[in-house]
Structure 1
Amino acid sequence: MNIPTDSYRNVQVRLPRSTSDSCEATEVDSELYNLNLRIVSVFVLRVISFLGASIAVLPICIKRLHIPSIIINTGKFFGTGVILATAFIHILPVAMETLTDECLPQGWKDYEAYAGLFAMLAILAMQLIEFIAHHQLHRVSIQETKVGVEEANAQHTIVSVESNQQHGHSHGLSLLQDTHNHRVTTYLLEFGIATHSVLIGVTLGTDDGSNFVALFIALCFHQFFEAIALGAQISQLQNKSILPAILMVIFFSLTTPVGIAIGIGIHLNTYNPKSEAALVSTGILDSVSGALFIYQTADALDGMLLNDGLLLDDNKKKALRNYKYAGEDQSFLAPFMYKLWALFFILVPKRISPNLVTSFGLIIVLLAFILIHINTSDDNGLNCLIYGIALFIYQTADALDGMQGKRVHMYENATTEIFDHGVDSIVTSLTSIATITRLTHIDKHLSPIYSVFVLLTSFVGFHAPTYEHVVTRKMRFQSGPCNPTEALVGMQLIYLITAIYPLIWTSEKSKLLLMIIIVPILSFSAILCFISSLKQIYIHHKGVLSMTIKSLFRGYSPLFFVIICAFFYIPCVSILYKEHSLICLLAIAIPWNYSIYRTIIAEITNDKNFDILGVLIGQCPILLPIFTAYFMPSFLMITLIISIILSGFLYVYTIHFTLTEVCHALSMKHFWTVQADFETKRKIY
C-alpha cells in the first residue's frame, strides 16, 4: 500500500515525554511564588537561629548564671545528637539522591557511591588539617619551653625550675592541645553548618511555592535545634572574651537568610535545579557538610566523655585515692566457710590482681549460665549440678579475692570494690534468672508474676545494703537468710537437692511446700533488708526525718523505677514469656545492674549528690517494650531485643569509662595489674 507523500508530512506522532524534558528549566506560575512571604522568612529564620545558639552560649559564658551541670551536659549531648541525626538522616541521603539523579550524565550514574566518596575525602582532609595544626602547636610549645629553661639556667636555678618547667609543659601542653583541638573542630563544624544552611536557604528561596509553608515550618525547627547544637560547641571554646562567641553566633544566624536571598535572586532569573552544574555542586557540598557533621560529632563525644571528666571530677578522684573500706559481716556460716575457702588460697598466684580472681569466678558462673540455657533437654539434674558447682567456685573466688587483696596491698583499692560488689550484683541477677528459667522449663504453667517476684526480691535484698554503704560509709551484712554467705550456700543446696532429686519440682505437694517456703523466705529477707537499711540511714541522719526521706528517695528511686516498670511490663509479655522467658527477664535485670553499678561508683567516690537523673536515663530502655506492648504489640519481640542491646551498651560503656577513670586516678595501668606501690615494695625487698 502506497501512502501519499503529502499526507505523510501532515501526520503528527505523539511520543511519551522523555526524561530529558523533566531536566529542562520550566516557567513557574508567579501566583504561587509569594515574594513577600520569602522576605519575611529571611528575618524569622535569622531570629530563630540567633536565639537557638544564644540559649546554649550565654549560660556558659556568663558565669553568674549558675546552671546545674546536668542541664549543661544534657544540652551538649542533645546538641551532638541533633548534629549526628542531621548528617545521617537529612544531609547524606539527599547528597546520595542528588548525585544519582536521572538528569546527570551517564558517568555519574555508573558509580552510585559518589556521596560517600566525597564525604570520606572531606573527613581525611579535616584530619590532615587538624594534624598540621596540632603539629605546629606542639612545635611552638616546645620552643617556648626551651626558652623558659634557658632563662632558668641564666638565673642559676636550673635544677628546680627544670623539673617544674617540664611538669608544667607536660600538663600545660596537653590542656592547650585539647583546647586547640576543640577550636579547630568547632570552626570546621561552623563551616559545615554554614554551607548546609546556605544550601537549604537557596532551596527555600527557589521553591515554586507549592511546598513553601511546610518547608518553612520544618526549617524553623531544624535551624533552632541545629543552632543549639552549634552553640553548645561554641560555648566550650574557653575564650577570654565573649565577643568571639557572639560573632560566631551572629555569623551562623546570617547563613540561612543569605541562602534565601540568593535563592530569591536566582529565582528572578532563569534557574534550573536539575542542571548538571546545580546537581553536582549541591551534591558535593551536601556530602562535605555531612562529613563535617559526623567528624565533629565523633570529636565532641571524645571530648565530653574522655577529656571532660563527666562522671568523675577532681573531688571524686581525690576520694578514690583516699578510699578506705569499712564493713561488718554478721554471718553465722562465714567463719566456718572461710576455713574451707582458705584451703584453695595456695592456688592463687602471689602477684595476681584480686580483680582477676573475682573475674575468674564470674566467668565460671557465666559459662554455667550459658550452658544450662543451651542444654534444653529434660535432664534438669545435670544442669542444676553444673550451676550449683559454679556457684561454689564463685563464692570461693569471692572470698579469695579479699585474701589476695590483703597480700598485694589492694584490699582498700577502689577497683577491688567495683569488681567485688559489681560482680556480686551480676551473679545475683544470673542466679535469679537461672533459677526462674529452670522452674519455667520444669513447669510450663509457672506464672510470670511469680518469676518477677523472685527477681525483684533479690534486687531489694542487694540494693538495700549497697545504698546504705553510700550513706553511712560502712558495708553491713545482716545475719540470717538475707546475708550473702547464707543466701549463696542456700542456693547451692537447692541446686544440689534438685540435681539429686529433680522430681521434687514436678510433685504437686512438694512443689506447693517449696513455694510456701521460698516465697515467705524471699519476702521476709527483702523486707528485713529494707527496714534495716532504713534504720541505719535514719540513725546516720541523727533522727532528722526530712533528711532521711530525701536520702531514701535519692537512693531508692532507681530500684522503685525498675519495680514499677516490671509490674507494667510483665502482663504485656505474658504470652511471649512462655517461650522467651530469658529475654523477658534480661530486659529488667540489666537496667537494675546499671543502677547498682552507678551506686557503687557513688560510694567509692564519696558522692553526696547521687545522680538520680543520670541513673534513670540509663534505665530508660526498659520503657521501650512497655510502650510497644501497649501501642504496637506486633513489634514487641524486636523492641525487647533493642531494649536489651541499648541497656547492655550503656552498662558496658559506663563500666569501661569509669574503670578507665578510676585506674587513671589511682595511677594504675590496668585494672588487672597490681598496684604500683606493691610492685615497688616487692622490688625493694
Structure 2
Amino acid sequence: MSSTIQDIFPSATDIAEELHCGPGGGADDFLSLRIASIFVILVGSLCGALFPVLAHRSSWLHVPKSIFDFAKYFGSGVIIATAFIHLLAPALDALGSDCLSEGWSQYPYALAICLLSIFIIFIVELIAFRWGTAKLLKLGLAHDAHGHNLGSHAAHGPETVYKSPDANRAEPKPDLNSSDSHSHSSDPESLQGLDDSPATQIVGIAILEFGVALHSILIGLTLAVDPEFKVLFVVLVFHQTFEGLGIGSRLAYMKLPRHYDWVPIVGACLYGITTPIGIAVGLGIRSTYNPGTATASIVSGVLDSFSAGILIYTGLVELLAHEFLFNKEMMNSSNSRLAYAVCSMLLGCALMALLGRWA
C-alpha cells in the first residue's frame, strides 16, 4: 500500500481539522429548539434568582424561615461547586487544548490566573472595606439601614452610636479611624458593623455577580453551537436555576436601607439575562464561531480561570467563613440547626458537582 507525502507529513490545516480546531462554525441543528432555549433558560434563571428575593419581602407569602435557610446554604454549596467543577476544570481543559501552541502546556496558566484573580478580589474588597464607606459618605450617597450615615463606623467624632443587629439597644462604638480603634480592629463587633454596611454588601454581591456573569455568558455561547445540544440544554436548565437560587438567596438577605431596595431585584434580573444573552450572541455568530478553535479556547480558558478565582474567594471567604465561623448567631445555635445548615450546603455542592458530569 503506497502512502503519499501528505499522509506521512500532514499539514497544520489537516491536523487542525482533525482536532476540530479549524475556523468552521458550530453545530446548526435543532435551530428552533436552540432559539426556544433562550426563553426557557431565561424563565428558569429569573425564577431561581427572584423567588428568594420576592418571597423574603412578601407579606402574604409566608415562607418558613427554615426554607430560606435551606436556600441560602444550598446556594452557598452551589457556588463553591460551580467554582471548582464548572469553571476551574473547564479552564484547565481549555488552556491545555491540543489546538494551542506548545508554550501553553509548559505552565499551569489556568491555575495561575485563578490565583491572580483571588488576590485581585481580595485587594478590591480590602480597599472597599477600609475606604469605600468613607468615600461614599463624603459624596453623600449612602446611609446605613438604621438611618445613620454609612460612614458612622469610620466617622471623625470621638464615638458613634452603632445599632447592633442582634439587640434593640444602641451601643457606643469607638472611632475606627482613631489610632486606638485600629489597635482593636480585630474586635468581632467592630468587624461585624463594617461588614454590614451597604457599600460592603453591594461590592461583595457585585463581585459575585461579575464572576457568575462571565461564566453564564460563556456557557450560553457554548449551548448555542454545541453538537450535544439536547443533553447540555437539560443540564443547563437545572444548572442556571440552582445557581440562580444561590444568587437570589444572597440578594434576599442583604440588609440595605429603603432607597437601595432596588439593588437585590436588579441583581437577580441581571443574573437572569446573562445566559440568554450568551445564547443569542452564539446563535448570531454560529456560522463562524467554533468553541474548539485556539482563540476560543484561550478566551474561554482565561475567563473561566478568572471567574473561578472570584467564586472560590467568594464561596470560601464570604459564604463559608462569614456564615459559619464568624457568625455569632450560627456559632451559638443548636447542634441540629448547625447540622441542617451544613447538610443543606453539602447537598447544593453535591448536586452541582454531579451536573458537572454532563456540563
TM-score category of the 2 structures, normalised to the smaller one: 0.7 to 0.9
Contact 1:206-1:263 at 8 Å conserved across structures: yes
Report the Cα distance in structure 2 between the residues aligned to 1:167 and 1:65, rounded to whole angstroms. 41
Q: Gaps (5+ residues) in structure 2?
A: 138-150, 161-169, 182-188, 345-359
Q: What is the SS of the residue equivalent to 2:120?
A: helix
Contact 1:87-1:293 at 8 Å conserved across structures: yes
CA deviations over 1:428-458 (Å, ceiling 9, x no partner): xxxxxxxxxxxxxxxxxxxxxxxxxxxxxxx
| Corresponding position of 2:128 | 133
Contact 1:189-1:292 at 8 Å conserved across structures: yes
* CA apart distance, 1:233: 1.1
CA deviations over 1:306-329 (Å, ceiling 9, x no partner): 23612537xxxxxxxxxxxxxxxx
| Corresponding position of 1:272 | 290
Partner letter of residue 145 of structure 1? A
Report the Cα distance in structure 2 between the residues aligned to 1:616 and 1:122, rounded to whole angstroms. 32
| Corresponding position of 2:236 | 219
* CA apart distance, 1:76: 1.3
Report the Cα distance in structure 2 between the residues aligned to 1:42 and 1:618, rounded to whole angstroms. 34
* CA apart distance, 1:619: 9.8
Change (3 A) 1:38 1:172: same
CA deviations over 1:316-369 (Å, ceiling 9, x no partner): xxxxxxxxxxxxxxxxxxxxxxxxxxxxxxxxxxxxxxxxxxxxxxxxxxxxxx
Q: What is the SS of the residue equivalent to 2:206?
A: helix
Larger radius of gyration: 1
Aligned length: 297
Q: What is the SS of the residue equivalent to 1:310?
A: helix
Contact 1:186-1:296 at 8 Å conserved across structures: no
In structure 2, which of residues 29, 33, 36 is the aligned counterpart of residue 33 of structure 1?
A: 29
Change (3 A) 1:13 1:219: same
Report the Cα distance in structure 1 between the residues aligned to 2:192 and 2:268, rounded to whole angstroms. 28
Is 1:290 aligned to residue 308 of structure 2? yes
Is 1:192 aligned to residue 184 of structure 2? no
Partner letter of residue 26 of structure 1? G
Change (3 A) 1:616 1:131: closer
1:432-471 aligned within 5 A: none
Partner letter of residue 127 of structure 2? I
Contact 2:216-2:278 at 8 Å conserved across structures: yes
| Corresponding position of 1:253 | 272
| Corresponding position of 1:49 | 45
Is 1:68 aligned to residue 32 of structure 2? no
| Corresponding position of 1:309 | 329
* CA apart distance, 1:229: 0.5
| Corresponding position of 2:109 | 114
| Corresponding position of 1:586 | none
| Corresponding position of 1:24 | 22
1:394-543 aligned within 5 A: none
Is 1:96 aligned to residue 92 of structure 2? yes
Report the Cα distance in structure 1 between the residues aligned to 2:201 and 2:190, rounded to whole angstroms. 16
Contact 1:138-1:173 at 8 Å conserved across structures: no
Q: Which has the higher contact order (CA 8 A, sep 6+)?
A: 2
Partner letter of residue 46 of structure 2? F
Structure-1-length-normalised TM-score: 0.40
Change (3 A) 1:64 1:240: farther
Change (3 A) 1:83 1:144: closer
Q: What is the SS of the residue equivalent to 1:146?
A: coil
Q: What is the SS of the residue equivalent to 1:267?
A: coil
CA deviations over 1:93-123 (Å, ceiling 9, x no partner): 1100100111111111112x11110000001
CA deviations over 1:255-277 (Å, ceiling 9, x no partner): 00100011111113x23333332
| Corresponding position of 1:85 | 81
Q: What is the SS of the residue equivalent to 1:15?
A: helix
Q: Gaps (5+ residues) in structure 1?
A: 1-10, 151-162, 314-596, 599-610, 621-685
* CA apart distance, 1:222: 0.4
Partner letter of residue 283 of structure 2? I
Change (3 A) 1:27 1:240: closer
Structure-2-length-normalised TM-score: 0.73
Is 1:240 aligned to residue 257 of structure 2? yes
Change (3 A) 1:256 1:138: closer
Contact 1:304-1:310 at 8 Å conserved across structures: yes
Change (3 A) 1:238 1:33: same
CA deviations over 1:565-616 (Å, ceiling 9, x no partner): xxxxxxxxxxxxxxxxxxxxxxxxxxxxxxxx94xxxxxxxxxxxx5x7568
CA deviations over 1:225-250 (Å, ceiling 9, x no partner): 00000111111221234322111111
Identity of aligned residues (%): 33
Q: What is the SS of the residue equivalent to 2:156?
A: helix
Report the Cα distance in structure 1 between the residues aligned to 2:79 and 2:278, rounded to whole angstroms. 20
Contact 1:206-1:266 at 8 Å conserved across structures: no
Change (3 A) 1:187 1:40: same
Report the Cα distance in structure 1 between the residues aligned to 2:237 and 2:290, rounded to whole angstroms. 26
Q: What is the SS of the residue equivalent to 1:271?
A: coil
Partner letter of residue 93 of structure 1? A
Contact 1:137-1:177 at 8 Å conserved across structures: no
| Corresponding position of 1:588 | none
| Corresponding position of 1:145 | 155
Runs of 4+ that moved beyond 6 A: 616-620
Partner letter of residue 306 of structure 2? V
Partner letter of residue 297 of structure 1? G
Change (3 A) 1:274 1:173: closer
| Corresponding position of 2:224 | 205
Change (3 A) 1:252 1:142: closer
Q: What is the SS of the residue equivalent to 1:128?
A: helix
1:261-410 aligned within 5 A: 261-268=280-287, 270-298=288-316, 299-305=318-324, 306-307=326-327, 309-312=329-332
Report the Cα distance in structure 1 between the residues aligned to 2:157 and 2:59, rounded to whole angstroms. 35
Aligned-residue Cα RMSD (Å) equals 3.2
Contact 1:25-1:272 at 8 Å conserved across structures: yes
CA deviations over 1:493-533 (Å, ceiling 9, x no partner): xxxxxxxxxxxxxxxxxxxxxxxxxxxxxxxxxxxxxxxxx
Report the Cα distance in structure 2 between the residues aligned to 1:71 and 1:615, rounded to whole angstroms. 15
Contact 2:158-2:174 at 8 Å conserved across structures: no
The answer to which structure has the higher helix fraction is 1
Change (3 A) 1:72 1:279: same
| Corresponding position of 1:15 | 7
Change (3 A) 1:134 1:617: closer
Report the Cα distance in structure 2 between the residues aligned to 1:88 and 1:297, rounded to whole angstroms. 11
Contact 1:189-1:296 at 8 Å conserved across structures: yes
